[in-house]
Structures are given as structure tokens and as C-alpha cells.
């Protein structure tokens, strides 16, 4: 950690836990009344015109008028994934994208709490019951070794602690170290990720049976990863599956 990062870390820590120093904005480091300054807070956006199932941005209201109540995209209607809903806190841009990137490459308790709490607040707004167990998307062991921690697991741990939900992080494994997915087209991502996860040998599926499970990830891009993980959970007997993430990238499906 360089000097500035270290100073910022301790200033935030002293403020949050000991209430000694005034708070500075987590994004721009300017003085702030809470974790974000007013300007950065304005930059947090969330698209509500998205499919309730996969969170893809929906076409205009005219185009999806054939299913206005369900607010599901054409893809989820014709070829539904094995998860029933997606909950995300914000769009993946501006401050949230910066915080997630910072968190990915620098394990920080403050960032972990901040990002996980964004998901927790959003979960509390929904009418459906809270999940009975959280399943963080596993990292391949090689990637885990490089990074030193699994960001999805750390997020799940904090959410689980806040909402009193168990975290099952030893049931699934990532068997293939898929190439970096960012920047790839949907179809390529789907091909890359196919069969990349499986249930760990010897693990008891009974833990998953008839439960409402939530797959936890930091960012959902095309949803290919979520689809693959959900497939395994469904096969293992899950009754209902939700996908939860800090952020969702915005882009339209080409019908
Ligand atoms: Zn700021
Ligand atoms: Zn959809």
C-alpha cells in the first residue's frame, strides 16, 4: 500500500470505528458528511428499467409492451435462466466501478463493508423473502493465488453476517481458469464459461435442496457466469435462485 492509500485507509478507519477524524469521501477524498461527498453521490446511478430476472436493460416501453407486468426481457421469456431474479445495487459506472476495481486489487475491509452494505440495503427493499444461503461465485485456484482473496466470498461474508444468512463457499469449484471476460461479446463469454463450475466431489447436495439460494458476485456483465452457476444449483435441487451483485453493466440485448 502506498503512503496516500495508507493515510486514506487509516483516516477512514478512525472515522468509522472511533469517530475521531472527519470523514472523507471514499471516491475523491474530499471532506464528506458520510462515506461519499454530495457530488459523488449524485454520480451513483441505477437503471430501474431493466428485466427483473436477468437485469438486462429493457428496450423502450413500446417494444416490451407485450409483457408490461412481468418486466422481463425477450430472452428471459423465451429461454429463461435457472435464476428467477437479479438484485443489484447500482449501475457499473462512475464511483461504483472505481470502488469495485479498487477492491478487486486491494483487499480492504472498509471497501468490502461499503460494497456489501450497498447490496444489503438493496435486498431489504425487495418484497421477496431473503435467501436462505449465499453462494459466492468461486475463483479458479490460480486466480485466487494471484489475487490473494475472492472478492465475491468477502462480499458474501459481510452480507451474511449483517443479515444472518449462512455462506456456502466450499460446495462449488471453478474447474477452468477462464480467460478475462471483460471486453468479450456475450456469445464468446457464454462459450468460455460453459462447464467452468462444478459441485465439489464428496460435498453433500442436501444443503442446497429446496432452498432459496443467492449467487453473490461483485459485477454482473452479460450474466453468463450467473447462468452457469445457477444451472448447477438448480440441478442440485435448489427451490429458487436469486442473483445478487453490487453492480450491473448497462447494455442492451440485441433481439
Ligand atoms: Zn467524492
Ligand atoms: Zn431478462
Instruction: Choose between 64 and 84: higher pLDDT.
Output: 84
For the CA of 70, the nearest ligand: 2
For the CA of 55, the nearest ligand: 2
The string over 17-42, giving b where at least 16 C-beta atoms fall within 10 Å of a residue's C-beta and e elsewhere, is: eeeeeebbbbbeeeebeebbbeebee
Query: For residue 181, how far is its CA from the centre of ligand 2 (angstroms)?
Result: 20
Kindly list the structural domains of the chain, giving each domain's residue range(s) and its CATH number in brackets, ordered by start: 1-42 (no CATH), 45-248 (3.40.50.2020)
DSSP 3-state percent helix, strand, coil across the chain (nearest 5): 40, 15, 45
Query: For residue 42, how far is its CA from the centre of ligand 1 (angstroms)?
Result: 9
Query: For residue 132, how far is its CA from the centre of ligand 2 (angstroms)?
Result: 23
For the CA of 28, the nearest ligand: 1
Residue 7, pLDDT score: 67
Report pLDDT digits (tens) over 209-237. Answer: 889 999 999 999 988 999 999 999 999 99
What CA–CA distance (Å, rounded) separates 134 from 21?
A: 35
Report pLDDT digits (tens) over 147-160. Answer: 899 999 999 999 99
What are residue 199's DSSP bridge partners?
Answer: 172
For the CA of 85, the nearest ligand: 2
Query: For residue 14, how far is its CA from the centre of ligand 2 (angstroms)?
Result: 43
Report pLDDT digits (tens) over 93-136. Answer: 888 998 999 998 887 888 899 899 999 999 998 878 899 999 99
Amino acid at each position: 500500500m502506498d503512503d496516500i492509500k495508507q493515510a486514506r485507509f487509516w483516516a477512514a478507519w478512525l472515522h468509522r470505528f472511533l469517530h475521531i477524524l472527519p470523514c472523507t469521501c471514499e471516491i475523491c477524498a474530499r471532506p464528506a458528511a458520510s462515506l461519499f461527498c454530495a457530488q459523488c453521490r449524485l454520480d451513483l446511478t441505477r437503471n430501474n428499467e431493466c428485466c427483473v430476472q436477468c437485469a438486462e436493460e429493457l428496450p423502450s416501453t413500446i417494444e416490451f409492451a407485450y409483457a408490461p407486468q412481468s418486466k422481463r426481457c425477450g430472452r428471459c421469456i423465451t429461454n429463461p435462466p435457472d435464476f428467477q431474479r437479479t438484485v443489484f445495487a447500482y449501475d457499473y459506472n462512475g464511483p461504483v466501478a472505481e470502488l469495485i476495481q479498487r477492491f478487486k486489487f486491494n483487499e480492504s475491509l472498509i471497501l468490502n463493508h461499503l460494497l456489501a452494505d450497498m447490496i444489503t440495503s438493496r435486498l431489504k427493499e425487495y418484497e421477496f423473502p431473503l435467501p436462505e444461503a449465499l453462494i459466492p461465485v468461486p475463483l479458479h485456484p490460480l486466480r485466487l493465488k494471484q489475487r490473494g482473496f475472492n472478492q465475491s466470498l468477502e462480499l458474501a461474508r459481510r452480507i451474511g453476517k449483517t443479515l444472518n444468512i449462512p455462506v456456502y463457499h466450499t460446495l462449488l469449484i471453478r474447474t477452468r481458469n477462464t480467460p478475462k471476460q471483460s471486453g468479450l461479446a456475450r456469445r464468446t463469454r457464454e462459450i468460455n464459461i460453459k462447464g467452468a463450475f462444478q459441485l465439489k466431489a464428496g460435498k453433500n447436495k442436501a444443503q442446497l435442496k429446496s432452498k432459496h439460494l443467492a449467487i453473490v458476485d461483485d459485477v454482473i456483465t452479460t450474466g453468463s457466469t450467473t447462468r452457469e452457476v445457477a444451472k448447477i444449483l438448480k440441478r442440485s435441487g435448489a427451490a429458487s435462485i436469486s442473483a445478487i451483485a453490487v453492480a450491473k453493466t448497462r447494455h442492451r440485448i440485441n433481439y
